[in-house]
Structure formats: C-alpha cells, structure tokens
C-alpha cells in the first residue's frame, strides 16, 4: 500500500472515529487546520458564552433565594441583560461558524450548588461576591479580546459589551457596600 493510501486510510479512520464518539472538531481535520487567531476567537466565544449562561442561571436562583429587594432587582437586570447578550453572541457565533456553550462550566455548576444551600443574607453576600468576581473576570476577557480578536465582529461585540459589564460590576460593588 502506498504512503498516500495509508495516510488517507488513517485520516478517514480518525474522522469516522471522531464522528462516532461525537468529537466534531476532530472530525473536521480534513479541512484546513484552525489558526491560532481562529482558536483565540473560538475561545472567547466559549468563555463569554459560559459566563453569560452562568450570570443568567445564578441570577435566576437569586430571584427566588434572595432576601433583599435590591439584590432581586439586580438579579432581574442580570437575567434580562445577559439573556439578550447571550442571544447576540449566539447569532454572532453562528455567523462565524463557531459554537456557543449550552451549559455552564463546571466551576459555575459547583458555585450554583453552593449558593443553593444558602438563604437570606448569607445567600445575598455569596451571590453578590460571585457577581463581582465574574464581572471582573468578564471585563478582563472583553478588554483582552478588544485588542487580540482578529474577527472584526467579535472585536465589535467585545467593545460594545465591555461598558455594560463594567456597569454591572459597579452595581455589584454598590450592593456589596450596602
């Protein structure tokens, strides 16, 4: 068997195996390899998507678990803003052939489970602290993406979203002070 036939046979077997076990990225090895810039943009979509999902889910929990009207008001604003932002990110990702996550990352799943065990003022403190941490992390990601994204639509999304995230952080900081 020639070297080319062996290479094609191996490549076909890898693609078939990837499809069989549900690894679409490995199944795409027959196309052009992703560049580091494409990987960076895809990584942003993944991280921003996970963060957005977490904001919505944690804030929905706050709507039923918080003792504070101010925290509930903040949580509703987070649900509304991040639901809209998640939809916008999903449309952008689809346009660029990128996937958005459908579930929170493992850290946020654990955080939600921890928050679910708290009540009243204890819940409020833990939720607000989580919102402050998450919005700081997201602001840093958006700032980095503004400078590093190669896709102009992703860069524009980051530029447009950053002031909103910074405003959410200011709101969370104000709640923490009260």
pLDDT digits (tens, 9 = 90+) for 113-163: 999 999 999 999 999 999 999 999 999 999 999 988 889 999 999 999 999
pLDDT of residue 81: 96
Whole-number pLDDT of residue 41: 87
Secondary structure (DSSP) of 6-55: HHHHHHHHHHHHHHHHT-HHHHGGGSPPPPHHHHHHHHHHHHHHHHHHHH
pTM: 0.77
pLDDT of residue 37: 58
The whole-angstrom separation of Cα 119 and Cα 122 is: 6
Residue 164, number of CB atoms within 10 A of its CB: 17
- Angle at the Cα of 138 (from 79 to 98), degrees rounded to 5? 85
- Domain residue extents for the chain: 1-33, 36-177
For residue 104, give the 3-state DSSP assignment. Answer: coil
pLDDT class of 30 with cuts at 50, 70, 90 = very low
Note the pLDDT of residue 14.
33
Q: For position 131, what pLDDT does the model report?
A: 97
Reported as type and span, the H/E element at residue 103 is: none
Burial 92-124 (b: 16+ CB within 10 A, else e): bbeeeebebbeebbeebeebbeebeeeeeeebb
- Tell me what the pLDDT averaged over the chain comes to: 83
Each residue's pLDDT tens digit, 34-46: 556 567 889 999 9
- The whole-number pLDDT of residue 35 equals 57
Q: Are 74 and 172 in contact (CB under 8 A)?
A: yes
Distance CA 33, CA 15 (A): 14
Distance between CA atoms of 63 and 69, rounded to whole angstroms?
9
Q: Among the residues of the chain, which ranges form H helices?
A: 3-21, 24-27, 36-65, 69-95, 106-116, 120-148, 152-177
Determine the average pLDDT of the residues in 67-93: 96
Q: What is the DSSP letter of 117?
A: T
Instruction: For residue 106, give Cα distances in angstroms to 54, 110, 152.
Output: 10, 6, 30
The yes-or-no verdict on residue 77 having pLDDT over 70 is yes
Q: What percent of the chain has pLDDT over 90?
A: 73
Q: Quick one: average pLDDT of 87-102? A: 93
Return the CATH number of 36-177, one of 3.30.450.40, 3.40.50.1110, 1.20.1260.10, 3.60.20.30. 1.20.1260.10
């Amino acid at each position: 068997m020639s070297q080319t036939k062996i290479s094609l046979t191996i490549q076909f077997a890898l693609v078939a195996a990837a499809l069989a076990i549900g690894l679409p990225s490995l199944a795409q090895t027959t196309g052009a390899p992703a560049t580091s810039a494409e990987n960076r943009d895809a990584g942003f979509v993944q991280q921003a998507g996970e963060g957005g999902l977490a904001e919505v889910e944690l804030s929905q929990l706050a709507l039923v678990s918080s003792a504070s009207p101010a925290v509930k008001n903040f949580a509703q604003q987070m649900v509304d803003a991040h639901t809209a932002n998640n939809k916008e990110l999903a449309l952008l990702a689809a346009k660029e052939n990128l996937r958005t996550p459908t579930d929170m990352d493992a850290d946020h799943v654990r955080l939600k489970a921890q928050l679910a065990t708290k009540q009243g003022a204890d819940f409020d403190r833990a939720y607000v602290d989580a919102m402050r941490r998450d919005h700081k992390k997201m602001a840093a990601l958006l700032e980095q993406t503004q400078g590093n994204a190669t896709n102009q639509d992703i860069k524009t999304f980051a530029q447009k979203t950053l002031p909103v995230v910074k405003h959410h952080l200011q709101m969370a900081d104000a709640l923490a002070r009260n």
